Amino acid sequence: MVEQKRYALFLATLDSEFVKKAYGGYHNVFVSTFGDEGEQWDSFRVVSGEFPDEKDLDKYDGFVISGSSHDAFENCDWILKLCDIVKKIDEMKKKILGICFGHQIIARVRGGTVGRARKGPELKLGDITIVKDAITPLSYFGDEVPETMAIIKCHQDEVLVLPETAKVLGYSDNYEVEMFSIEDHLFCIQGHPEYNKEILFEIVDRVLGLGYVKQDFADAAKATMEKRGADRKLWEKICKNFLKGRVSD
Say if residues 198 and 232 touch (Cβ distance below 8 Å). no
Residue 212 CA to residue 194 CA, distance in Å, equals 23
Say if residues 66 and 193 touch (Cβ distance below 8 Å). no
Number of Cβ within 10 Å of residue 244's Cβ equals 16
Number of Cβ within 10 Å of residue 51's Cβ equals 18
Mind telling me the catalytic residues?
A: 100, 192, 194
CA end-to-end span of the chain, whole Å? 26
Q: What angle do CA 114, 120, 121 make, to 5 degrees?
A: 85
